[in-house]
Amino acid sequence: MIKSIILGAGKGTRMKSDMPKVLHTIFDKALLGYVIDAVNGTNLIDENYIIVGHQAEEVESYVKSNYENSKCVLQSPQLGTGHAVSMALPYLKDFEGEAVILCGDTPLITSDTLKEFIEHHKANNSDITVMSAIFENPANYGRIIRNSDGTLNSIVEEKDADAEQKAVKEINAGIYCVNWGKIKSAFSELKTNNAQGEYYLTDIIKWGNENKLRVNAYTLKNNEEIFGINSKANLAEAYKLLNRRVVKKHLENGVTIVDPDTTWISPETEIGADTIIYPSCYINGKNKIGSHCKIGPFAHLRGDVILEDYVKIGNFVEVKKTTVKSHTNACHLTYLGDSEIGSNVNIGAGTITANYNPLTNVKSKTIIKDNVKIGSNSVLVAPLVIEEGTNVGALSAITKNLPSWALAITRAPLRVVENWVSRHKD
């Protein structure tokens, strides 16, 4: 199998944040998580080595909590990208296969592109392959300098490039596939004779050519995939790019999205054909939405939501950690959290599942069986089970389990004081 080395040690000064750059999120998922998932999604890479530095403990905690096949390696001090990769040497000293090197702040890279990149490397019997891209405005990127036969000569950083080199539009995308057994010795020979005074990873290209290795470049098809995050503005743009990709996929799969510009859907959300997503919806986390559902407008799905076919989640309805079976409606101004809701249920406007105990910090579950009707402005206090067919009257606060086919009402009786207004006006 192949190994990966993911660079995630940088501070990200331009983010203007106390949080490590690679732990900033898109749809509540860390940038680093997108990269690791893309790597793991190739099914070609069995181990990931995450190079950490700035706030290393936070990054390591995230990795340990989410990825069993990933190990963090500390880079201290931080002396450049070449130095960062060299931190993996003690863990890969006996490894002779391929390694993929990439950055932890490029959340738009896909598994398909990485697979194609690795296959290109192998098909060309390369020892070093770098991913490149063609940019009309290549400013601030390292330039790809090719030999006359199309092989890769070197990568020249912007600060070290002359006028002719700066005119080159092919840039270094920052992803490498290398024959680790042949190039690992390069990291003890890198020099710091450059404008930054650092050990550049890009110098392995020159080193490979000097040592008669096969050095090539693979040109990326979609430049968006190497979009790097260096600022909050970059983060916002990546959010849009990723969402546009997700929305396009669902449109192609038969989902109706009334206004793609105001609809946000996480990559982990599945949606069946003929479902309609109305404007200004935010669908976050991992969810499964069936066919022929109607969502929104102004609905918020917060993750771990399963909606079966023909479910309606209407305007200003928030749903979290909840399963809703078919032909159930929650149309207005409602919160459904930590719940199991049956089929043919109607949730009246303003209903709340009160799932959180502030004294114990415990969240409990509300279970609503088939054919239940919940009246408007009701509060369902968990833990709670409402059995099949029961009706809950409007304005009720339900704190005990309810039997089947019953009527539950907790509101005070109506009292009418005749002529009250007339008397008080006088």
Local structure of 129: helix, strand or coil: strand
What is the C-alpha separation between 289 and 74, in angstroms, rounded?
A: 41
Pairing of strands 362-363, 356-357: antiparallel
Residue (of 350, 342, 335) closest to 404 by Cα position: 342
| CA distance linking residue 299 with residue 278, whole number of Å | 9
Q: Is 332 a catalytic residue?
A: yes
With contact defined as beta carbons under 8 Å apart, do 100 and 2 qualify?
Answer: yes
CA 41 to chain centre: 14
Provide the sign of the torsion angle of the four alpha carbons 253, 257, 259, 265, taken in this order. negative
Compute the distance between CA of residue 314 and CA of residue 307 in angstroms, rounded to an integer.
13
With left for phi above 0 and alpha for psi between -120 and 50, is residue 50 left, alpha or beta?
beta
- What would the two tokens of residue 146 be? 């090719």
Q: How far apart are CA 187 and CA 206, in angstroms?
A: 12
Per the DSSP assignment, residues forming a β-bridge with 320 are 337
Catalytic residue among 24, 120, 332, 424: 332
Q: How far apart are the first and last CA of the chain?
A: 90
| Catalytically active residues, by annotation | 332
